[in-house]
Amino acid sequence: MDKGMKILIVDDFSTMRRIIKNLLRELGFNNTTEADDGSTALPMLKNGSFDFVVTDWNMPNMEGIALLRAIRADPALQKLPVLMVTAEAKREQIIEAAEAGVNGYIVKPFTAETLKEKIDKIFERLES
Amino acid sequence: MATTTQREEERQAQLELARLLVEQLQRGDDEAVEITIHRLSAPFERELFAELGKLTRDLHEALKGFREDSRLLEITRDEIPDAKERLNYVITMTEQATHRTLNAVDAGLPIAEQIHAMAAELAANWVRFRRREMSVDQFRQLANDLDAFFAMTDTETDRLRSLMSQIMMAQDFQDLTGQIISRVIRLVQDVEENLVGLVRLSSARMEAVKSAAPRPSEVDEAVAAIESRGPTVPNTKDVQANVVTGQDDVDDLLSSLGF
């Protein structure tokens, strides 16, 4: 796993974006960019060479699940790993995200350890 | 609606009654006058009652319709208590976040003070050493103190870093409570729109209610199955939905799906 990889953090709450950014920095990832919902994230993803997306689900304009689907539908982005960090806790939503091709799912509130564990797992699987 | 011939007949009948009334008045037959006046007014009363009956029926239908498709009942029965629980949960969450933050500050401040005090003492001794005012025994003591200081700062700054991290994580309440409050705001808007509908109805113009745009709540409910709802709040209908109770639950579900 390349610690210099380019990560996009998508959440409509700036406080949560800061928390995730800080946690990622503690884990050694310093190359992070932020977007406040799916509709701002998608053009950024299309224009920039991002390596990883951490996204919320419940956001205005374009929700995380729609962003995930848009990523999977775009030939240039479809292999991009996506980690969902959300308060959405319905089983059918988790299944929906899994079927849409999410790489990991974390429910809020979460801990720094959980974030580290899920990121490690995602890249272990991608590299194997 | 009466036809033209019916109208004509009625008019003729009224005219005859009027002539009869004039005759009876001239004759001074009070009893007969009273009966004739009553007969003269009968058609108007019939119309009035028919109109009144129609109005009553319309109002009844409108009220019934409103009750049936109104969300007001549902809102007052389920969602207002639900919203109260949500707001109470917001208070609990903000309280917990504040305590977590203050606890970390309480634990962190003595560490900072201890490091500060030890550094000041060492600095003073270091100055004495540089001025060659120190005996060999005193220097030996200083060396031991320095060893202890390095060991202490190593573990204690690590503890400070962890406390800072706890303070940072405690701020996640802003996102979670924000989502809950937004949901309650949507409910308040919903209540407002339904009350406006009720006011329109009581002005007895049913057209206004019927032509009203579909309430946003209906749209909300229609897509509720796939729509995001924000954090799960205890003691609300959130819990009745099929929700996971934590990360372990999520992991179990995903591993059952082959993750």
pLDDT in tens, chain B (259 residues): 556 788 888 888 888 989 999 999 998 888 889 998 888 888 888 888 888 888 888 888 777 777 666 677 788 888 889 999 999 999 999 999 999 999 999 999 999 999 999 999 999 999 999 999 999 999 999 999 999 999 999 999 999 999 999 999 999 999 999 999 999 999 999 888 888 877 777 775 545 444 444 444 444 444 444 577 888 898 888 887 888 989 999 999 999 888 8
The answer to whether A22 contacts B168, with C-beta atoms less than 8 Å apart, is yes
Residue B136 lies in a domain: yes
The answer to whether B250 contacts A57, with C-beta atoms less than 8 Å apart, is no
Pairing of strands A52-55, A82-86: parallel
Residue B235 lies in a domain: no
For residue A3 the two structure tokens come to: 């610690």
Do both B53 and B114 map to the same domain?
Answer: no
Do both B61 and B130 map to the same domain?
Answer: no
**Nearest one of B169, B56, B177, B142 to A13, comparing CA atoms:** B177
d(CA A82, CA A77): 11
Residue B170 lies in a domain: yes
pTM: 0.72
Contact call for residues A88 and B244 (beta carbons, < 8 A): no
Residue B169 lies in a domain: yes
The answer to whether A108 contacts B175, with C-beta atoms less than 8 Å apart, is yes
Task: Give the chain B residue whose CA is nearest to the CA of A23.
Answer: B165
Backbone angles phi, psi at A4, to 5 degrees: -90, 5
Q: What are the angstrom distances between the C-alpha of A20 and each of A54, A56, A68, A116, B257?
A: 9, 11, 19, 11, 27
Do both B48 and B109 map to the same domain?
Answer: no
Residue B17 lies in a domain: yes
Do both B21 and B145 map to the same domain?
Answer: no
- A-B contacts at Cβ under 8 angstroms: 85
Q: How many residues does chain B have?
A: 259
Do both B80 and B64 map to the same domain?
Answer: no
Task: Give the chain A residue whose CA is nearest to the CA of B93.
Answer: A109
- Does the interface predicted TM-score (ipTM) exceed 0.85? no
Residue B62 lies in a domain: yes
Do both B40 and B110 map to the same domain?
Answer: no
Instruction: Tell me which of B250, B253, B254 to substitute to probe the interface with A (most A C-beta atoms closer than 10 Å).
Output: B250
- With a CB-CB cutoff of 8 Å, which residues 60-119 of chain A face chain B? 63, 65, 86-96, 98, 105-112, 114
The answer to whether A92 contacts B253, with C-beta atoms less than 8 Å apart, is no
d(CA B64, CA B71): 13
Counting beta carbons within 10 angstroms of the beta carbon of residue A66, is it exposed (0 to 12), middle (13 to 18) or buried (19 or more)? middle
Do both B145 and B203 map to the same domain?
Answer: yes
Residue-number span of the structural domain to which B31 is assigned: 13-68
Of B211, B228, B254, which one is at a domain's C-terminal end? B211
The most distant pair of C-alpha atoms in chain A lies apart, rounded to whole Å, by 36
Of B68, B98, B114, which one is at a domain's C-terminal end? B68
Do both B170 and B52 map to the same domain?
Answer: no
Structurally, chain B folds into a number of domains equal to 2
Of B48, B68, B88, which one is at a domain's C-terminal end? B68
Which residues in chain A are contacts of B172 at CB distance < 8 A? 15-16, 19, 108-110
Minimum distance, in Å, between the CA of residue A19 and any CA atom of chain B: 7
Do both B62 and B102 map to the same domain?
Answer: no
Contact call for residues B226 and A96 (beta carbons, < 8 A): yes
The answer to whether A11 contacts B244, with C-beta atoms less than 8 Å apart, is no
Residue B178 lies in a domain: yes
Do both B157 and B50 map to the same domain?
Answer: no
